[in-house]
């Protein structure tokens, strides 16, 4: 997020206190943050707190002559890369949807020509009210990105959807939104493998695993959004091809190895595929039949080529090679061992005992020679955006 400017509008809800933590996280990521505090917001957090955390002046009113002379509100609305409304209250979203500009925040939102992300937080009944849902639909139709609120216990004592997502998740969504505006991977070729491989036993049976391909496809989508030329070598999955991505479908590990080799050279290789370690020694030409004797057919396995290890040793090794490791135990230890054994620059590890393969959420740990960075628990597309940001930083 280095060198990006965020205009953060803080609405009047109890979740406003979390926006302080958001400012801190965004600053830590290198973003420049300017806060706009609504009248309602000022009942929950102070301009002083936000000024101290953001290290920038905080704007609170349209009618401040000094502010208006130094920085007109139109300019304020245009100088950001992204406008974030957090918390976006029911009232603020209603005014946004209706095009009302009766304070500084709503005037900026109407005047801006920059992408807007709204992060709603409110009581569950207010969130579920048809009027709020109508307003959210209108905002989305107008091109505003509206995050889904979290579900859980609320400050008001009720339970359900309406909670502000945790600041690290908001931060990751902001990174994702910025990824669609800034293009740090322009001119780079990113090679990705995703999905499982299928290793035939006979014409109707195969060896496979539970990989859904979601994480790899999300990374391909994030890389394409970041401006990269993306080649996605995919095992059999049920995922749509992300926009701007060249997809090469394969079935077996050996086909995947050949497709990876053919796609070189690349600036980065991200090997997300859950490649089958073994294949049947001899694929039967015809369906293996039961003969009623209770005898089971002998299934001889042979090891598949290790695509990642081979790539790391290749003369055409991309400057940055990232492997993945889905582990059920001793996650970081296994990741460190794989880093050394395969010769990758990073191993991105995830614990498939706590977050099952095929699910929507992941916790990724980036393991490299310089240590471990653990990303927060995130939906797979937000985790992908953050990983692509780290990759863009590493290449820069
Ligand atoms: N990988 C690969 N080719 C293989 C096996 C794995 O390219 N034949 C890659 C995966 O895409 C991933 C990394 O190596 O990026 C680690 O995969 P994993 O299956 O976790 O490693 P293995 O070496 O197979 O170890 P194990 O299955 O025993 O944990």
Instruction: pLDDT tens for the chain, 396 residues: list them.
Output: 888 999 999 999 999 999 999 999 999 999 999 999 999 999 999 999 999 999 999 999 887 766 666 667 788 888 899 999 999 999 999 999 999 999 999 999 999 988 999 999 999 999 999 999 999 999 998 889 999 999 988 777 888 899 999 999 999 999 888 876 678 999 999 999 999 999 999 999 999 999 999 999 999 999 998 999 999 999 999 998 988 899 999 999 999 999 999 999 999 999 999 999 999 998 999 999 998 999 999 899 999 999 999 999 999 999 999 999 999 999 999 999 999 999 999 999 998 888 877 778 888 999 999 999 998 888 888 899 889 999 999 999
CA 364 / ligand 1 centre spacing (Å):
16
The pLDDT of residue 65: 62
Residue at token pair 């302080």: 20
**Which residues sit in the known binding site for CTP?**
277, 287, 305-308, 324, 338, 342
Q: Which atom of ligand 1 is nearest to the CA of 322?
A: 15
CA dihedral 309, 310, 313, 315 (to 10 degrees): -150
Residue at token pair 């939104």: 177
* 183-283+290-395 and 5-181 share a CATH fold: yes
Q: Which residues are catalytic?
A: 156
| CATH class of the domain whose range is 183-283+290-395 | alpha beta
Strands 229-234 and 159-163: unpaired
Question: Does the C-beta of 308 come closer than 6 Å to ligand 1?
Answer: yes
**Which of the following CATH numbers is that of domain 5-181: 3.10.129.10, 3.30.70.360, 2.120.10.30, 3.40.50.1950?**
3.40.50.1950
Rounded Cα gap, residues 146 and 13, in angstroms: 17
CA 168 / ligand 1 centre spacing (Å):
29
The pLDDT of residue 347: 98
The pLDDT of residue 229: 96
Please report, for residues 13, 82, 171, the alpha-carbon distance to residue 31 in angstroms, rounded to integers and kept in the order given. 24, 11, 11
Say if CB 188 and CB 395 are below 8 A apart: yes
Domain map (residue ranges) of the chain: 5-181, 183-283+290-395
The contacts of residue 77 (CB under 8 Å, 6+ apart) are 7, 83, 107, 108, 109, 111, 112, 113, 114
Q: Where are the alpha helices (DSSP H) in 183-292?
A: 214-225, 253-263
Question: Does the C-beta of 338 come closer than 6 Å to ligand 1?
Answer: yes
CA 307 / ligand 1 centre spacing (Å):
8
Q: Which atom of ligand 1 is nearest to the CA of 311?
A: 7
């Amino acid at each position: 997020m280095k060198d990006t400017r965020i205009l953060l509008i803080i609405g009047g809800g109890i979740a406003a206190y979390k926006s302080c933590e958001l400012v801190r996280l965004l600053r830590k990521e290198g973003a420049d943050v300017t806060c706009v505090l609504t009248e309602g917001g000022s009942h929950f957090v102070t301009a002083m707190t936000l000024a101290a955390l953001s290290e920038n002046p905080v704007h609170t009113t349209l009618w401040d002559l000094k502010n208006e002379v130094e920085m007109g509100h139109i300019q304020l609305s245009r100088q950001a890369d992204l406008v974030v409304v957090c918390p976006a209250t029911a009232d603020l979203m209603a005014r946004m949807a209706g095009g009302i500009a009766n304070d500084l925040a709503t005037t900026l939102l109407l005047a801006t020509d920059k992408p807007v992300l709204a992060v709603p937080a409110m009581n569950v009944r207010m969130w579920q009210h048809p009027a709020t849902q109508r307003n959210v639909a209108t905002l989305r139709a107008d091109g505003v990105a509206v995050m889904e609120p979290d579900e859980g216990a609320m400050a008001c004592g009720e339970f359900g959807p309406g909670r502000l997502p945790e600041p690290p998740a908001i931060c990751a969504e902001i990174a994702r939104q910025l990824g669609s505006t800034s293009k740090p991977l322009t001119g780079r070729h990113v090679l990705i493998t995703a999905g499982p491989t299928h290793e035939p036993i006979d014409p109707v049976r195969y060896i496979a695993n539970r990989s859904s391909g979601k994480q790899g496809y999300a990374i391909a989508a994030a890389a394409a959004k970041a401006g990269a030329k993306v080649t996605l070598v995919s095992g059999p999955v049920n995922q749509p091809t992300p926009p701007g991505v060249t997809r090469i479908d394969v079935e077996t590990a050996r086909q995947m190895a050949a497709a990876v080799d053919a796609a070189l050279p690349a600036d980065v290789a991200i090997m997300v595929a859950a490649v089958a370690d073994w294949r049947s020694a001899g694929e039967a030409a015809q369906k293996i039949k039961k003969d009623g004797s209770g005898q089971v057919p002998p299934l001889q396995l042979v090891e598949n080529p290790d695509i990642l290890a081979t790539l790391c040793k290749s003369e055409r090794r991309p400057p940055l090679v990232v492997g993945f490791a889905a582990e059920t135990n001793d996650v970081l230890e296994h990741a460190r061992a794989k880093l050394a054994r395969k010769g990758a620059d990073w191993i991105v590890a995830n614990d498939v005992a706590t977050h099952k393969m095929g699910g929507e959420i992941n916790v990724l740990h980036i393991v490299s020679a310089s240590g471990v960075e653990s990303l927060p628990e995130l939906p797979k597309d937000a985790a992908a955006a953050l990983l692509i940001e780290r990759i863009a930083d590493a290449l820069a």
